[in-house]
Amino acid sequence: MARWSNEESAGNGMFLLGALAGALVGAGVALLMAPKPGAQVRQDINQGFNTVKDVAARRYREVADKATAMADKATAMYEQKTAGDRFNGGTTAPISDPYSSTPGTGGYQS
């Protein structure tokens, strides 16, 4: 079984980023070199930009929604943990000590 390290993960990520950048540059050069009138090339570039912008906005909303859900879940878990236990009246305050250091005020007397 193969083991992944942080260095390999970073290298794979950089490779994918480079491949994506190369694809974008290649697409831009292809658009500019295509035998189309300038107005049509500008329209194609504008449509491509709008498509990328819409996809990025959608992805941003998805990530923001997931982050909000995770934050809400973490907050609920924290509130549940700090709400106290059911044996202590729902508080986090310690139960008072039934044994007092002052004689005659409670607890066992010796």
Tell whether 36 is covered by a domain: yes
- Tell whether 54 is covered by a domain: yes
Tens of pLDDT, residue by residue over 63-76, are: 999 999 999 999 98
Domain count, the chain: 1
Residue 69 resides in a domain: yes
User: pLDDT tens digits for 6-25?
Assistant: 566 667 778 888 898 999 89
Range list of H helices, the chain: 6-33, 38-82
Domain that holds residue 63: 25-81
- Indicate whether 32 belongs to any domain: yes
pTM of the model: 0.42
Q: Are 95 and 85 contacting, i.e. CB atoms less than 8 angstroms apart? A: no
Q: Is residue 50 part of a domain?
A: yes
Q: Is residue 75 part of a domain?
A: yes
Decide if 58 is inside a domain. Answer: yes
Whether residue 88 is contained in a domain is answered as: no
